[in-house]
Each structure stands twice: as C-alpha cells, then as structure tokens.
Amino acid sequence: MKTLRLTLVAALVAGCHFDKLFTSTPGGSHAPPPGSAPPRLAFTVQPTDAMKDSMITPPVQVTVFDSAGNVVTSFTGDVTLAIGNDPGVLKARLSGRSQAAAAAAAGVATFSDLSIDQIGNGYTLVATISGGSVSKESSPFNITAVPSPGPGSARTLTFTQQPQTTAAGTAIPPVQVAALDSAGSMVTTFTGPITVSLLANPGGDPLAPQTVNAVNGLATFSNLRIDKAASGYSLVATASGLPNAPSAAFAIVPGTATQLAFTVPPSNTPARATIQPPVQVTAYDAFGNQATNFTGSVVVAIGHNGGVLLPGTLSGNGAVPAANGVATFANLSIDVVGNGYTLIATIVGGSVTKESTPFNITVL
C-alpha cells in the first residue's frame, strides 16, 4: 500500500507545558515518558468526495492530541496516510507529495494534493504516526467519475404535488416537481429546466413532454391535459444530471356525454317482429371516450320512414336509462313493410342526437 508522509516541523515554545510530555529519541521523533498516556490522532479536516485523479479539497488535516485533548505542538515526527477501506473494483492508489507549510500550526499535518485513481463509494484513509502504533481512520468518502454535488446541490427530483384523477380534456390540477438535496431538503437555488412526460400511457394519449424552469427549486405544470380515458397513467420528471422521478398512478375519466353512436344498429327484420339483436346506443364524450359515467335516458324514434303503403309505427321505444353509457332497446318493432328505415336516438332533455344506418322491414 502506497502511503504518503508529511513531516510536521514545529518549534518548541519555551515554557510550554507540552515540553515535558515527550522526551527526545533517536531519529528526531518524541515519545511519551514511561507511564504517560500515548498521544492520539484526529482528522480535523476529513477527506471529502472528489473526482477520480482529482485533488481532494479542502486539504486533509490530521492533528496530534495528548490525552487531555490538547494539541501536541512539540511533536516533530512523521504522519503517514494510507487507504483504509478500498471499495474500488481495481486496487486504488493514493497519490500526492504534500509538504508542510512553514506557517503550519505545530501538531497539524496538512495534505494538500491527495488524489485517488479508482472510482468507488466508501473509501477511508488511515493516519499513523511513523514508527508507532497510534493510528486513526477517517470518515467514509466517495471517488466519482463526475463532480460530486456539494452540500445543498440538487441530487434528486420528487413530485410534491401528484397528478390527480381528472376528466378527459380538462387541465389536470397543477402538478409540482421539486429539486432536493441529499438531505431531502428543497434546493431553492435550483432554477434549471424540468421536463414532465408520460411514463405509463394505457390510453395511448399523444401528450407531448412539457418543460418549465424551476422557481426556488419548484417547477409547476399547470396545463397538462390528457384526452384518452384510462386508469394507470403515470408521469416521469427529468432534469439534466439528475435521476428520473416517476409520479404516482392516476386515472383520466370520461368527460360529459356530447355525442351518441349506434353501437348495435337496427337490422333487417320482418314487420311486427322484435328487431334482433337488440339495438344499442352508446354515449361518448367530446374526445371519443365512452361516457361510462353517463346514466341519463335515451329515446329512439323513426327518422326516415320507409313504409311502402302507409308510414310505419315504431313500438317498444320508451326512454331507456343508460348503464355505463349504453342504452339497450330490446323490444323495438315496426309494423309496416318498407326499405330504408332509419332510427334517431336522442338524449332525454338534451339536443344530442344520432341517426342510424338504413335498414328494411320485410314481409313475414
């Protein structure tokens, strides 16, 4: 394991009570007198996240303390740094040739140009006093392929106002997406663009992605509209450099019934016989979704009367309440033979109508 050394050079201060803590030993280092507590080390500036092969900033600092917690300003030995935990796929190498500054405070080793050459999360450094058994491990840090966001930088996106169930073609109540830091707090300085688009699209709606700039870390989407009714829609929020964030699932329900269709049209039938299969009329909203929430009544009447000798009369055509938007007429019949009859369906109390395709009433 490659290690880095930094010699702490400090002048002994005359009269300082630390001058009795260590006695000189060959080689220039100082050892504690027999029976005294050994010194201890502390990372007074911990290593921080950095890019691969880039300097760790601010410079790492290791300080020597006595048992009472005082800085040992009389210490003149070496402090060694080495990688402790190595999470890299390949063995990592710690580089740097730090030199103590002349003005450095006594008892403090400063490593100003450290770097690590392999990506990984959870690295630690171990500081050791040369020639001794006193050591200290740093807190974990990461080596990344891209710059690591600093404290308070945007790290994730989240939907703070989820999309709600809404009628087709109607603006969804405002959806909001926030940029959060690593602590889960909103980053009010974030003003970048955030885009929202469909993630799950069970109705096949052609909603185009929408982008707005965040204000104080919050992006508000007020004009999201989906025309195709379905359950299980979801959105996804994206922003450059941040992981995608999915929304909760929501539904688009049909709008108000604005049109009718003969989903089972009348078929050729003998005079006075019940038209089979039963005629069905279905209500739809303005976007072509079956108006399953429509429970009003529908009536049918003869449109074009194809009676040959006399006008035909329609029977069994009383108002029928719709179920899930569908009105079923099971007892319709016409009493006069003729070709080209049509029926007209109308929503009771409204102006929505629809004419059927032509059909014939035949001889028994």
pLDDT digits (tens, 9 = 90+) for 93-105: 998 755 433 233 5
8 Å CB contact between 121 and 52? no
Place of tokens 């890019």: 51
**4-144 matches 156-253 in fold:** yes
Q: Which two tokens stand for residue 192?
A: 């970048």
Q: Is the pTM above the cut of 0.85?
A: no
4-144 folds as Immunoglobulin-like (2.60.40)
**Radius of gyration of the chain from its Cα atoms, rounded to whole angstroms:** 41
Place of tokens 């080596």: 143
DSSP assignment letter at 5: E
Neighbours of 176 (CB within 10 A): 17
Question: Would you give the end-to-end CA distance of the chain in angstroms?
Answer: 103
The amino acid present at 315, given as its one-letter code, is S
- CATH architecture assignment, domain 156-253: Sandwich (2.60)
DSSP assignment letter at 221: E
8 Å CB contact between 265 and 300? no
pLDDT on residue 31: 44
Task: Please list the residues that pair with 85 across neighbouring strands.
Answer: none
User: Which of 2.60.200.30, 3.40.50.300, 2.60.40.720, 3.40.50.2300 would CATH assign to domain 259-362?
Assistant: 2.60.40.720
pLDDT on residue 103: 30
**Residue boundaries of the structural domains of the chain:** 4-144, 156-253, 259-362
pLDDT digits (tens, 9 = 90+) for 256-306: 999 999 999 999 999 999 999 999 999 999 999 999 999 999 999 999 999
pLDDT on residue 39: 78
Residues with pLDDT less than 50, the chain: 1-35, 99-104
Task: Please list the residues that pair with 110 across neighbouring strands.
Answer: 61
pLDDT on residue 16: 36
8 Å CB contact between 242 and 180? no
Place of tokens 């700039």: 213
